[in-house]
Amino acid sequence: MTKEEFTKMKQELEAEYLAIFKKTVAMHEVFLCRVAAHPVLRKDLNFHVFLEYNQDLSVRGKNKKEKLEDFFKNVVKSADGVLVGGVKDVDDFFEHEKTFLLEYHNRVKDASAKCDRMIRSHKSASDDINRIASSLYTLGTQDSTDLCKFFLKVSELFEKTRKIEARVAADEDLKLADLLKYYLRESQAAKDLLYRRSRALVDYENANKALDKARAKNRDVLQAETSQQLSCHKFEKISESAKQELIDFKTRRVSAFRKNLVELAELELKHAKGNLQLLQSCVGILKGNT
Amino acid sequence: MSDRARDPPPERTDFEELEDADDLFPEPAATEESGPASLTAEDISTNSNGPKQDSQFDEDPEDLFAEATEEVSLDSPERDVLLSDGPSPAITPITPPTSVITPCLGHDDMFTHSSFDEIEEEEGGDLFDMHIAVSDPEKVGDGMNAYMAYKVTTKTPMSMFKRGEFSVKRRFSDFLGLHSKLASKYLHIGYIVPPAPEKSIVGMTKVKVGKEDQSSNEFVEKRRSALERYLMRTVKHPVLRKDPDVMQFLESSDLPRAVNTQALSSAGLLRMVNKAADAVNKMTIKMNESDAWFEEKQQHFENLDVQLRKLHASVESLVCHRKELSVNTAQFAKSAAMLGNSEDHTALSRALSQLAEVEEKIDQLHQDQANADFYLFSELLGDYVRLITAVKGVFDHRMKTWQKWQDSQMLLQKKREAEAKLQFTNKPDKLQQAKDEIKELDAKVQQGERDFEQISKTIRKEVSRFEKERVKDFKTIIIKYLESLVQTQQQMIKYWEAFLPEARAIS
């Protein structure tokens, strides 16, 4: 590989690394801000340690056994979810949220997948432009006619526009695709919350039935009463916090979308204007020379 | 991200100004000369690529084309009158009917550049103002005997044609027949005959079967555009355009059907055998090149061939990916619209639907850009790859001519030796026979030498003309292509600027 090709490849790799780094940093920032903004979670000791401990945290990753446990838990959860999901909720708010979240989650998933595909095509198109630029450069150096300067200029132009196109794709990835992915997982988390609440509701209703049965048989009434009270308490607590959480979810969602969509539009504009300027100046020079 | 680039207001107003007036380069339009008449027609045809409904880069599709067609019909008879008065003046009288042209050409700035080139050429004495358009592909017949008939319209002020403007119906095999006639007449004396578009059995079968879908429409459009470029290249050649076959092709309403161009005919088989024989011969001929110019040029064309093929492959890949990008953007737009529907916060829902609309428009932009990529850049490269093959063929013919000359020279030498030997024997009649043969062969050798020099001279002229054309072609088309990129970016800016306030309005 020639020296120029090597430096070019190095630059490309650096740009890609930078883009991925930006993405990861942004996602981590969003996560930490979210935790900090939550009234309960922000007081968690683990969180404080994470933020303040100035030496290596040495977090152990999940080993095989734990991963297997997780997998089984998931299977059980989804099966349970289906059972529990059939129960109709008395509370309108939660019923509405359930249907809304289900639909929303599916659509976000679809949008996220399509967005990823779109960005991938964008990246491959910009790779092609890169190859075109280097072919033009070779043509320019080889040609003996007037065209050589012409080709070299156009090759230079394509190099620059390709960088901008790659940045456009990266920014779209950062602002749009990541936003959608995040809300995909958030909506999944919200669905999980609703599931836990439905679970608590079912437990509560079961406890009620058990209490009634116990009262009818006049056996273990006290035990049934305590368990019923416990599950009632649990259910009410979870309902309350769930309501608050879901409302917060909506506000957060709206503001996150707003922020990202505005930034996306601004970045697209910036890049398109930059691109336009490059193209226009090049066209001007080429027209002037001929 | 503190990456908020807010452009300073003055820059913004500049763009707004430009967009409002829609008149990007006012100066060149004012200096418009009579050149553009034929060129605008040419560019209509080049611009009516792809989906005919979409005017790629203009906000008023009908407007652009309607005005342009009006221009053409208004101007060319005018010019015909002006030019057919004098036999063939080296410099055409340039009386600019600017009043007709300037208003509409405000947005036709792609055309201004090529018109300057045309004027230059006319002033240089190469009177070229013929213009050919291939249009209206029509399916004739049914089933496997069906074919597409294209209307070939010629506009020319040249006096050797009976009328200034005429059109005929031709089918693809007619074009191939024309090319094979020209090739047999001119290739072996060193003229670079432009190659005809390639046959495509798959494409034609689809059309014959009658599938009225997107891919067969694209195939027909691709072919129509290729045929037009082929004819324009052929008539640009000063010798070829005066050829009677070419004139007959353009003028006469009935053309004998070129059956020899069919792939599965006896002529087709003969062609294949000849090609194989040629390839073998090329390997065996060892020419000692006395002229460094030819060696250098051959090397140059070899390199050019390799590079152009590589570039062509990259551009084709770009076209493919851009089309893919357009499809994916359309899908994303639909998905975003659905997401907006299910979103219950009204402002966000509206913003998401707006995003979906923007993406849909951008998808159309990508589609148009992919078409421009293809019809301007990729087809140019494909044409030149084929042209260079024709150029290499011409160099090969020169080698063959040299070989013939050398062969007859060697034969002459042998005959001379034989004659010398016969001198010592007493066979007067055989001697006379030998002397006659020698005289004949001598004449042949002289002719061979003349042929060789002639072909060398012709090739030199042709190559320099070819190089000039190449430089001009590439410059014009690449500038057009870059301008298409400019247009795309400007549209993008418009769309995103419209979206931004919507996004900000989410509360």
* B74 or B381, which is more confident: B381
User: Pick the residue with more confidence: B62 or A14?
Assistant: A14
Lowest mean pLDDT among A233-242, B101-110, B179-188: B101-110
Whether pLDDT at B12 is above 50: no
DSSP A89: P
Residue A57 has pLDDT above 50, yes or no: yes
Nearest chain A CA: its distance from B237 CA (Å): 21
Q: State ipTM.
A: 0.85
Query: Number of Cβ pairs closer than 8 Å across A and B?
Result: 175
CB contact under 8 A, B321 and A124: yes
> Is B98 or B132 the better-scoring residue by pLDDT?
B132
Alpha helices (H) in B86-149, listed in sequence order: 98-104, 110-123
Q: pLDDT band at residue B322, thresholds of 50, 70 and 90?
A: very high
Query: Is B3 within 8 Å of A100 when comparing Cβ atoms?
Result: no
Q: Please tell me which residue, B127 or B430, carries the higher pLDDT value.
A: B430
pLDDT value at residue A174:
86
Residue contact B338–A107, C-beta within 8 A: yes
Q: What is the pLDDT of residue A130?
A: 87
CB contact under 8 A, B311 and A132: yes
pLDDT at B201: 75
Q: Pick the more confident residue, B377 or B209.
A: B377
Residue A179 has pLDDT above 60, yes or no: yes
B428-504 vs B292-342: helix axis angle to the nearest 10?
30
CA distances from B458 to B186, B243, B282, B406, B451 (A): 11, 17, 21, 20, 10
Model pLDDT for residues B386-402, shown as the tens digit of each residue: 999 988 888 888 888 88
B240-276 in b/e burial notation, b at 16+ Cβ within 10 A? Answer: bbebeebbebbbeeebeebebbeeeeeeeeeeeeeee
- Largest distance between two CA atoms of chain A: 106
pLDDT above 90 covers a percentage of chain A that reads: 9
Interatomic CA distance for residues B506 and A20, integer angstroms: 29
**Confidence bin at B127 (pLDDT 50/70/90):** low
Q: What's the gap in Å between the CA of A176 and the closest CA on chain B? A: 11
* Stretch B485-506: mean pLDDT: 89
**Of the listed ranges A180-194, B191-205, B368-382, the one predicted with least confidence:** B191-205
pLDDT value of residue B89? 38
Joined together, the tokens standing for residue A68 give 């297997």
The torsion angle over the Cα atoms of residues A60, A62, A66 and A68, rounded to 10 degrees, is -170
Identify the residue among B1, B120, B301, B306 best suited for mutation to test binding to A, counting A beta carbons within 10 A and taking the highest: B1
CA torsion, ordered A155, A156, A157, A160, to nearest 10 deg: 120
Q: Is B160 helix (H, G, I), strand (E, B) or coil?
A: coil
**pLDDT higher than threshold 50 for residue A19:** yes
Q: With beta carbons less than 8 A apart as the criterion, state whether B343 and B349 touch.
A: yes
Residues B22-34: what's their mean pLDDT? 41
pLDDT at B332: 92
Q: What is the pLDDT of residue A276?
A: 92
In this complex, the residue of B6, B325, B493 whose CB is nearest that of residue A118 is: B325
Give me the pLDDT at residue B211, please: 64
How far is the alpha carbon of A214 from chain B, nearest alpha carbon, in Å? 45
pLDDT at residue number A246: 87
Question: What are A107-163's pLDDT values in tens digits?
Answer: 999 999 999 999 999 989 888 898 888 888 888 888 777 788 888 888 888 888 888
Lowest mean pLDDT across B13-22, B199-208, B354-363, B491-500: B13-22
B/e letters for B58-92, b = 16+ CB within 10 Å, e = fewer, are beeeeebbebbeebbeebbeebbebbeeeeeeeeb
Q: Chain-wide mean pLDDT for chain B?
A: 74
Q: What is the pLDDT of residues A197-225, one digit of tens each?
A: 888 888 888 888 888 888 888 878 888 88
Q: Nearest chain A Cα to B310, which residue?
A: A135
- Confidence check: pLDDT of B112 > 70: no
Nearest to B462 by CA among B124, B181, B187: B187
- Paired tokens of B333: 């737009």
CB-nearest to B328 from A118, A150, A273 is: A118
Q: Which residue has the higher pLDDT, B69 or B445?
A: B445
Q: List chain A residues with CB under 8 Å of B314.
A: 128, 131-132, 135
The whole-number average pLDDT for the span A9-25 is: 85
User: How far away is chain A from the Cα of B216, in angstroms, using its nearest Cα?
Assistant: 25
Q: Percentage of residues in chain B with pLDDT exceeding 70?
A: 72
pLDDT at residue B49, rounded to an integer: 42
